[in-house]
């Protein structure tokens, strides 16, 4: 039954001529079936066009419009439900196009190559990034995190000794490097599972007096709110044991491949929301330093993804331009004695500059998640 | 004079500069500046427009709207208002239903960056006011548009009015010798209670449209494309009520009709005398010609207190009837009050708002302003009273000769007990964008 319907639909779609430029008549749908990915179609001329694409299968999948020469994608319809029709809009340039169908339980298919005449530039196609492409970057990042956790354990051990010895002044000075070390590992927090909450959780839903609140911020709160060494000893000790357990478990954890690209903007999204706002200042006034550590984590991700990004993202230099601007604006707020200006004490113009630089860096970073999303080909 | 109707002509945004609608879109927009030309999201093939210091804005190429989409999507929406012209399009029209006034501080690194910023604002305003289809980006990034107006951006009568504040002419961008002659920071008048966090700004942008979604869409779009170049400083959203009863004038939140008496915006001579900075005006740098000084005053109304005042006292404070809008000495909204016939204020008190604001004497005629007020409403205060009031805006040729003269006459008017000005600023609304290759502030930056 389904096969018969599909065959009929394929026949109907076999010679669809599409009006170019979207004006006038509504174009006929191009139907994708298990027997053919769109059949023959034709565009009179380049320009803006909305294809109506119908999934004639009884299973879901994905349809891409590609450059058949190299598989680069002009447009995609993901999560394409069975027997549904959806528009695909793009600026079609002169050149060769083909649809590619990826349906569940079906071999990938590529439809006929269609040549659009003329000499018009259209929307660029982007080479898809595959799961395989992301394995090495993820592994490199995993190694970076592993090394970072080893250093972190040394840092929190120092902190634990300070508190254990009752030397809270020294603890206040050792808290920052330890916390910053953790904050450079920004892409891995999901892979840390519950450890992230235990090591770097906020008091938000618990309240500052809740004994379940643990980690760096809990310790910061105590160290900068006059709590005693006796109060803080169990906190420092638990921080050390949590980091130790995380380090031990790390070789068995895996960073999701999709996360590698996503985190390139998410780390600084969080920095904007929680650090540059001052939300996560529990007393030390060092959220600008935390943002600098977050930039370092972002740079590490960009570094492992660089071979994939260079051929795909022409605005990549702007990412670095704005990260550099943000970093230098932040560095200006580091005092000669190594202390940092708390966000709440920033002059208005300095704060606007930092926020503007961070906003623009995020705008430039945002496309990377789409470009590096792992795709089946 | 008494009883004679003297209707003040008002024009809507669409009537003021109706955009020729053609098959290519709501308003034939879509021409882009070459150096900003780029494709979706800056992905392979996209162009990064760089100013000095690597400051970059990426622009995208929208699709022209189809005729079919044009007609369909205008249902319930206002048509496009022509963006290009000698004057900015949002100044003369009567207030639209919705508006936002947003102050920004510029964070651009240098003059080149600043130029790129004005070009980008112009580019976005040109697209947003004309409407069209935002470009799809394929797999190259997040969608190029917020989607708040649906797949096609409808113009909905949008106007985007841009002004510059005196702080833009400090030492950052080398513009000090181009400061407009009458541009200062906003003066604090007796009875003001100004909050510096809600005052001033390097730039002001007023977005006005038929619906709040179109206002917010435009604000988000402009902000998104200018993230590194400017930071929002303060903002306030307002509305202009429907005239009730119809055929009258929108009311403020004290229940009184607001802006009944205004200069005639269809009279070019009057506009040249009162609103537009004239070419060759004494002391003015030449780039300011065809601009207009733009005063914004955010005025809280203590509406609970007001509602505890008896009607006659309210009417004496304004000098008009609340129900009808008539001057206390007349039986028509647009009938001018005849103060000469009432020298001691027997009928219209000498301290009433309309009498102080516009004494209607030959000596005060040149102090008239083009009033453009919106109501605002935004939550509650510390004692549980409603925070609502007026976004008073006005346009004029010379702030001291006009707004400040009016405001000086109003010092200590009885109404001051019921209002509290808390924010705003003085700006110069830039000259208009004359065509596809022009941009806001071009002459200022040249």
Whether A264 has a pLDDT exceeding 60, the answer reads: yes
Lowest mean pLDDT among A4-8, A293-297, B252-256, B305-309: A4-8
pLDDT bucket at B201, cuts 50 / 70 / 90 = very high
Per-residue pLDDT reduced to its tens digit, B161-172: 999 999 999 999
| pLDDT at res. B9 | 59
> How many secondary structure helices (H) and strands (E) does chain A include?
11, 10
Residue A23 in this model has a pLDDT that exceeds 50? no
Average pLDDT on A63-80 reads 95
Please tell me the predicted confidence (pLDDT) of residue B223.
97
How far is C-alpha B413 from the chain's CA centre?
Answer: 26
Q: What is the pLDDT of residue A346?
A: 97
pLDDT at B69: 44
Cis peptide leading into B245, omega within 30 of 0?
yes
Spatial CB neighbours of B96, under 8 Å, sequence gap ≥ 6: B12, B13, B78, B157, B159, B208, B209, B210, B240
pLDDT > 90: what percent of chain A? 82
User: Could you tell me the pLDDT band of residue B73, with boundaries at 50, 70 and 90?
Assistant: low
Given CB atoms, is B230 within the 8 Å cutoff of chain A? Answer: yes
Residue A206 has pLDDT above 70, yes or no: yes
What would the mean pLDDT of A160-189 be, rounded to a whole number?
94
Grade residue A26 by pLDDT with cuts at 50, 70 and 90.
Answer: low
pLDDT of A24 reads 41
A375 touches chain B (CB under 8 A): yes
Rounded to two decimals, what is the model's pTM? 0.90
Q: Give the total residue count for chain B.
A: 446
Q: Which of A89, A362, A371 sits opposite B43 (nearest CB)?
A: A371
Contact A222/A231 with Cβ under 8 angstroms?
yes
The per-residue pLDDT for B66 is: 45
User: Touching check for A353 and chain B: CB below 8 Å?
Assistant: yes
Residue B77: its pLDDT value, please? Answer: 87
In this structure, of A11-25, A233-247, A264-278, the range with the lowest mean pLDDT score is: A11-25
Considering only the beta carbons, identify the residue of A314, A348, A357 that sits closest to B228.
A357
Report residue A139: phi and psi, to 5°: -65, -40
What is the tens place of the pLDDT at every residue in B416-444? 999 999 999 999 999 999 999 999 999 99
A124 with B39: Cβ contact below 8 A: yes
Within A212-347, residue ranges assigned H as helices are 216-223, 229-249, 257-270, 287-309, 316-331
CA distance A292 to A184: 9
Distance CA A40, CA A24 (A): 22
Query: Percent of chain B, pLDDT > 90?
Result: 80
Query: Going by C-beta distance under 8 Å and a sequence separation of 6 or more, which residues neighbour residue A228?
Result: none
Stretch A99-115: mean pLDDT, rounded?
94
Quick one: average pLDDT of B402-422?
97
- What is the token pair recorded at B125? 């305003």
Which residues of chain A make contact with B63, given a CB cutoff of 8 A?
Answer: 22, 48, 89, 91
Note the pLDDT of residue A186.
81
Q: Which domains does chain A have, with CATH numbers?
A: 2-116 (2.60.40), 131-371 (1.20.1420.20)
Query: Which of B23, B64, B141 has the CB atom closest to A367's CB atom?
Result: B141
What residues form DSSP beta bridges with B300?
A: B389, B420
B341 or B19: whose pLDDT is higher?
B341
Q: Report d(CA A255, CA A331) in Å as an integer.
A: 31
**The pLDDT value given to residue A72:** 96
Is the distance from CB of B169 to CB of B178 less than 8 angstroms?
Answer: yes
Residues A22-33: what's their mean pLDDT? 69
Q: Which residues of B touch A313 (CB under 8 A)?
A: 42-44
pLDDT at A106: 87
Q: Express as a percent the part of chain B with pLDDT over 70.
A: 84
What torsion do the CA atoms of A319, A323, A329, A334 make, to the nearest 10 degrees? Answer: 180
Lowest-confidence region among A14-23, A262-271, B12-21, B325-334: A14-23
Q: Which residue has the tokens 């079906």?
A: A106
Whether A123 shows a pLDDT value over 70: the answer reads: yes
Check residue B14 and give its pLDDT. Answer: 64
B19 Cα to chain A: minimum distance (Å): 21
Query: Which residues 124-183 in chain A show a CB within 8 A of chain B?
Result: 124-126, 128
Chain A residues in contact with B230 (beta carbon < 8 A):
356
What pLDDT shows up at residue B259? Answer: 87
pLDDT band at A39 (very low <50, low <70, confident <90, very high): confident
Instruction: With CB atoms and an 8 Å threshold, state whether B42 touches A315.
Output: yes
Q: Kindly state the average pLDDT of the residues A207-212.
A: 95
Mean pLDDT over residues B30-43, rounded?
Answer: 29
Total CB pairs under 8 A between chain A and B? 135
Reported as half-sphere exposure (CB side, CA atoms, 13 A), residue B193 has a value of: 8
Are B139 and A128 within 8 A, CB to CB?
yes
| pLDDT value for A305 | 97
User: For residue B140, is pLDDT > 90?
Assistant: yes
Asked if residue A160 has pLDDT above 50, the reply is yes
Contact status of B220 with chain A (Cβ, < 8 Å) = no
B400 vs B189: CA distance, rounded Å: 13
pLDDT of B35 over the 90 cut: no
Per-residue pLDDT, averaged over B290-310, amounts to 98
- Find the mean pLDDT for residues A117-121: 92
* 8 A C-beta contact, residue B12 and residue B93: yes
Q: Name the DSSP letter for residue A48.
A: E
> Which among B228, B231, B232 is the top mutation candidate for probing chain A, defined by the most A β-carbons within 10 Å of its own β-carbon?
B228
Tokens 């964008």 belong to: B433
Inter-chain contact B107–A353, Cβ cutoff 8 Å? yes
Distance from CA of A51 to the nearest CA of B (A): 13
| Chain A residue numbers touching B195 (CB-CB < 8 A) | none
CA distance A44 to A119: 13
First to last CA, chain A: 29
Mean pLDDT for all residues in chain B: 87
- Whether residue A94 contacts residue A50, with contact meaning beta carbons closer than 8 Å, is answered with no
Residue of B nearest to A326 (CA): B228
- Tens of pLDDT, residue by residue over B208-234, are 999 999 999 999 999 999 999 999 999
Which one, of A179, A184, A173, lies nearest residue A199 by Cα?
A179
Give the pLDDT confidence of A214-225 residue by residue, as tens digits: 999 999 999 999
What are the structure tokens assigned to B380, written together? 């509650």
Given CB atoms, is B67 within the 8 Å cutoff of chain A?
A: yes
Other residues' Cβ atoms within 10 Å of the Cβ of residue B402: 23
Measured between alpha carbons, how far is B364 from B274 in angstroms, rounded to an integer? Answer: 12
Distance CA A352, CA A331 (A): 15
């Amino acid at each position: 039954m389904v096969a018969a319907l599909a065959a009929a639909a394929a026949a109907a779609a076999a010679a669809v001529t599409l009006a170019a430029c979207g004006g006038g008549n509504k174009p006929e749908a191009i139907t994708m079936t298990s027997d053919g990915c769109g059949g023959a179609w034709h565009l009179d001329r380049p320009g803006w066009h909305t294809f109506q694409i119908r999934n004639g299968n009884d299973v879901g999948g994905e349809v891409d419009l590609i450059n058949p020469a190299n598989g680069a994608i002009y447009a995609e319809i993901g999560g394409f439900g069975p027997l549904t029709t959806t528009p695909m809009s793009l600026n079609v340039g002169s050149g060769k196009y083909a649809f590619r169908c990826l349906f569940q339980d079906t071999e990938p298919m590529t439809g006929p190559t269609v040549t659009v005449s003329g000499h018009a530039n259209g929307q660029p196609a982007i080479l898809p990034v595959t799961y395989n492409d992301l394995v090495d970057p993820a592994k490199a990042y995993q190694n970076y995190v592993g090394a970072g956790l080893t250093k972190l354990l040394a840092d929190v051990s120092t902190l634990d000794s300070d508190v254990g010895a009752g030397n809270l002044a020294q603890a206040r000075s050792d808290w920052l490097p330890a916390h910053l070390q953790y904050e450079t590992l920004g892409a891995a927090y999901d892979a840390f599972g519950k450890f992230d909450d235990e090591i770097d959780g906020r008091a938000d839903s618990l309240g500052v007096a809740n004994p379940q609140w643990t980690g760096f911020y809990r310790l910061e709160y105590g160290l900068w709110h006059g709590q005693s060494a006796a109060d803080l000893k169990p906190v420092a000790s638990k921080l050390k044991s949590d980091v130790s357990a995380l380090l031990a478990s790390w070789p068995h954890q895996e960073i999701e491949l999709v996360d590698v690209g996503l985190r390139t903007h998410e780390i600084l999204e969080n920095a904007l929301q929680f650090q540059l706002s001052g939300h996560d200042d529990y007393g030390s006034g060092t959220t600008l330093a935390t943002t600098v550590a977050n930039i370092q984590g972002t740079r590490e991700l960009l570094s492992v993804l660089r071979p994939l990004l260079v051929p795909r993202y022409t605005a990549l230099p702007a990412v670095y331009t704005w990260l550099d601007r943000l970093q230098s604006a932040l560095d200006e707020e580091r005092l000669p004695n190594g202390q940092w200006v708390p966000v709440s004490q920033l002059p208005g113009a300095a704060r606007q500059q930092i926020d503007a630089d961070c906003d623009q860096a995020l705008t430039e970073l945002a496309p990377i998640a789409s470009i590096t999303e792992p795709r089946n080909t | 004079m008494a009883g004679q109707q003297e209707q003040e002509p008002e024009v809507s945004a669409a009537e003021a500069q109706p955009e020729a609608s053609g098959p290519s879109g709501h308003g034939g927009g879509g021409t882009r500046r070459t150096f900003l030309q780029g494709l979706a999201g800056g992905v392979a093939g996209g162009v990064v427009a760089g100013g000095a210091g690597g400051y970059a804005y990426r622009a995208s190429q929208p699709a022209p709207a189809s005729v079919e989409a044009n007609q369909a999507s205008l249902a319930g929406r206002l048509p496009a208002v022509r963006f290009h012209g000698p004057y900015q399009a949002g100044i003369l029209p009567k207030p639209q239903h919705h508006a936002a006034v947003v102050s920004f501080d510029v964070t651009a690194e240098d003059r080149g960056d600043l130029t790129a910023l004005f070009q980008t604002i112009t580019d976005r305003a040109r697209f947003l006011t004309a409407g069209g289809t935002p470009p799809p980006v394929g797999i190259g990034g997040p969608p190029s548009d917020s989607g708040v107006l649906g797949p096609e951006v409808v113009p909905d009568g949008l106007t985007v009015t841009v002004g510059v504040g005196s702080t833009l002419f400090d030492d950052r961008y080398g513009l000090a010798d181009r400061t407009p002659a009458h541009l200062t920071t906003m003066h604090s008048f007796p009875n003001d209670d100004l909050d510096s966090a809600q005052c001033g700004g390097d730039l002001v942008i007023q977005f006005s449209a038929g619906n709040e979604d179109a206002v917010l869409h435009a604000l988000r779009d402009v902000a998104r494309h200018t993230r590194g170049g400017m930071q929002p400083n303060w903002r306030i959203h307002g509305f202009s009520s429907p005239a009730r009863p119809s055929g009258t004038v929108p009311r403020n939140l004290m229940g009184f009709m607001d802006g009944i008496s205004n200069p005639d915006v269809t009279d070019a001579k009057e506009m040249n005398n009162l609103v537009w900075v004239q070419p060759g005006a004494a002391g003015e740098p030449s780039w300011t010609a065809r601009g207009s000084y733009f005063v914004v005053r955010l005025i809280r109304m203590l509406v609970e207190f007001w509602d505890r005042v008896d009607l006659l006292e309210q009417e004496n404070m304004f000098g008009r009837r609340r129900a009808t809008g008539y001057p206390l000495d007349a039986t028509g909204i647009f009938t001018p009050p005849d103060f000469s016939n009432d020298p001691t204020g027997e009928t219209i008190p000498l301290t009433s708002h309309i009498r102080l604001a516009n004494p209607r004497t030959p000596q005060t005629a040149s102090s008239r302003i083009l009033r453009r007020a919106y109501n605002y409403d935004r939550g509650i205060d510390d004692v549980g009273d409603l925070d609502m009031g007026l976004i008073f805006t006005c346009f004029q040729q010379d702030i001291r000769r006009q707004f400040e003269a009016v405001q000086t006459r109003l010092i200590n008017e009885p109404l001051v007990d019921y209002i509290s000005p808390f924010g705003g600023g003085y700006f110069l609304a830039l000259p208009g964008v004359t065509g596809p290759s022009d941009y806001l502030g071009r002459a200022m930056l040249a």
